Amino acid sequence: MIIAIDGPAASGKGTLAKRLAAHFGLPYLDTGMLYRGVARVMLDDGLPLGDEAAAEAVAQSFRPGSVDEERLRGREMGEAASVVAAHPRVRTALLALQKTFASQPGGAVLDGRDIGTVICPDAEVKLFVTATPEVRAARRAQEFASRGEPVSLDDILVEIRQRDERDSHRSSAPLVVASDAVVLDTSALDIAGVVTAALAVIAARG
């Protein structure tokens, strides 16, 4: 069984994906970490994030786990990843890696922004996890604060909306709801409620 989970930043899709992977005993891939990893390598090497050819070269040789995950967290890396992910050649370079992960015997859980539309269009279960920009900004602010990062809720809300715009209107694999995906609005739900709703969808799909 392949479970494809898409959605905008701070919607809760990553937390849900981890819970479902643990519940079903399936391998899990946070595809956003691939783009954060490419961005991290570029920043470390002093390469401009807007250089698509350089980003493609990094993506072609990038391997999951090659960069300490803690260095991929935080506000700066989220923005950097969004810029890198808008490059069509970078998405193409990482496509095979993601498809190979999804094709493991028994299935897998993947989350991102184009899983149900591009990476796993034939997934048995497709979920699109979302929430209002205000709720997502508050969640992200709480996350940053817990790590000791200075935060301004107004600034984070602006960044959330900018990322939504960039992710939804990029030329390659934009963030859209797959025609056969079930939308889960998590604005008024805690994680237990989201997991319960997702398991109900999966059970209904057989």
Q: Residue 11, annotated ligand binder?
A: yes
CA distance 31 to 46: 23
- What is the Cα 73 distance to its own chain's centre? 13
Whether residue 168 is annotated as binding a ligand: the answer is: no
Report whether 14 belongs to an annotated binding site: yes
pLDDT at 75: 83
pLDDT in the model for residue 205: 84
Is 7 marked as a binding-site residue? yes
> 8 labelled as ligand-binding?
yes
Lookup: tokens for 51: 């250089």
Is 15 marked within a binding site? yes
pLDDT (0 to 100) of residue 174: 93
Q: Given this model, what pLDDT does residue 65 score? A: 87
CA torsion angle 135 137 138 140 (round to 10): 120
Query: Residue 10, annotated ligand binder?
Result: yes
**CATH class held by domain 2-204:** alpha beta
pLDDT in tens, the chain (206 residues): 999 999 999 999 999 999 999 999 999 999 999 999 999 999 999 999 999 999 999 999 999 889 999 999 888 898 899 999 999 999 999 999 999 999 999 999 999 999 999 999 999 999 999 999 999 999 999 988 888 888 899 999 999 999 999 899 988 899 999 999 999 999 999 999 999 999 999 999 87
Looking at residue 149, its pLDDT comes to 84
